[in-house]
A and B are shown apart, each in its own frame.
Chain A
Amino acid sequence: MTANEGWMIAGMMAVTFGIRYFLFALADRIRMAPWIEGSLKFIPPAVLTAITLPAVLLPKGDWQVSFSNPYLVAAIAATAAGILTRNLLATIAIGLAAFFAYRFVL
């Protein structure tokens, strides 16, 4: 490992742990406003959607809104599977199967 790599990892570790630990460290001294507490349940779906939608519609960094985009086909299959089965593993399996079937078989 080079010194440069060492600094990079130390820096990444410090900011990542810092972010994760900051609120836990202050736990005793923080009281949250009711509206903040009410907003917490929206955080995970909002963040996950903001990461996922661009990854599906612009898989290689360019817009690909058509059925020739296998990432979009997989996402549609996974969404349908998720709504119907309510099972995470089945959703992943059907999404991946749709992707590879579309990409390598059709």
Chain B
Amino acid sequence: MNRPESVQKQEFLSGARGTFPLLLGALPFGLIYGAVAATSGLSMAAAMAMSALVFAGSAQFIAVGLVAAHTPVAIIVLTTFIVNLRHMLYSATLLPYLKNLPQKWRIPLAFWLTDETFAVTVHRFQKNDSSAGKHWYQLGSSIAMYLNWQFWCFLGLVLGNRIPDAQSWGLDVAMPVTFIGMIIPFVKTFPMVVCVLTAGAAALLTLAMPYKLGIVVSAIAGIAAGLMAQRIVNARKGALQR
């Protein structure tokens, strides 16, 4: 039998390992964030502090864009709030697995909760084994993401002054391509197909909404459509069994 410490270490390391492809996915974002921040008028200290203290890729990108456009601080903070609202949906998903942990665990795991760590960790939590150390898996994923992000942001900032126009290289394509790779494993059932198609269509219909609010509205539309499809599927199954 394994001692608890070795189980914890194993979970931690396999969390970091499981996140590896996403570390590579975050690499170009980090570099581009640094490069864009370097040319936005934001000081290097502020750009690094944002990565270290806010730690939210898409919100950081948007904030830097708003800084470059001389947007007031209050609007930048409000936009950050809206863009990051999806994280509340993530913490709702993880809540059943983390609610019995003490605050000294919940606080850091909340601070480090990103799209990537969520996507990797939720699969670990949903596996039907009785490991008592699954939160160590999330910790491993979190710390790997955090250190990786700081490193590439810093490198991007340093290089930023030398590569004047990183975005025109088209490195921003890394984001949609990475997200597509993250979406596909979820799409296995009919309700999931309905959910994704609805969310996508709604996102295109709500483009005119301000502050990226369309993302939140479309996600809710997709979730509602998925739930309804699930209900229809379940009703049919029930009818067939009768």
- The answer on a CB contact under 8 Å between B184 and A50 is no
Residue from A13, A50, A59, A78 within 8 A of B181 (CB atoms): A78
- Check if B199 sits within 8 Å of A95, measured CB to CB: no
Distance between B69 CB and nearest chain A CB, rounded to angstroms: 13
- New contact pairs (16) apart from A16-B87, A53-B204, A86-B185, CB-CB < 8 Å: A1-B49, A9-B49, A13-B54, A15-B80, A20-B87, A24-B95, A25-B106, A40-B93, A41-B186, A45-B222, A57-B204, A75-B180, A82-B180, A92-B178, A95-B180, A96-B177
On chain A, which size bracket covers the interface? Answer: 35 or more
B132 within 8 A of A: no
A to B CB contacts below 8 Å, 15 in the list: A11-B77, A13-B54, A15-B81, A17-B110, A19-B87, A21-B106, A32-B96, A41-B186, A43-B219, A45-B195, A45-B199, A46-B222, A89-B20, A91-B184, A92-B174
Q: Which of A24, A32, A36 has the most chain B CB within a 10 Å cutoff?
A: A24
Interface of A (DSSP majority class): helix
The answer to whether A21 and B91 touch across the interface, beta carbons within 8 angstroms, is yes
- Residue of B whose beta carbon sits closest to that of A17: B111
Question: Does B227 count as interface, using CB distance less than 8 angstroms?
Answer: yes
Interface of B is mostly: helix
Please determine whether B177 and A74 come into contact, CB atoms closer than 8 angstroms.
yes
Q: Which residues of A contact B (CB under 8 A)?
A: 1-2, 4-9, 11-17, 19-25, 27-28, 30, 32, 35-59, 70-71, 74-75, 78-79, 82-83, 86, 88-89, 91-92, 95-96, 99-100, 103
Of B8-16, B114-122, B144-152, B156-164, the one with at least 4 CB within 8 A of chain A: B114-122
Give the distance in Å from the alpha carbon of A70 to the alpha carbon of B177 in the complex: 12
CB-defined contacts of B59 to chain A, threshold 8 Å: 12, 16
Whether B180 and A52, one on each chain, are in contact in the complex, defined by CB atoms closer than 8 angstroms, is yes
Are B98's CB and A42's CB within 8 A?
Answer: no
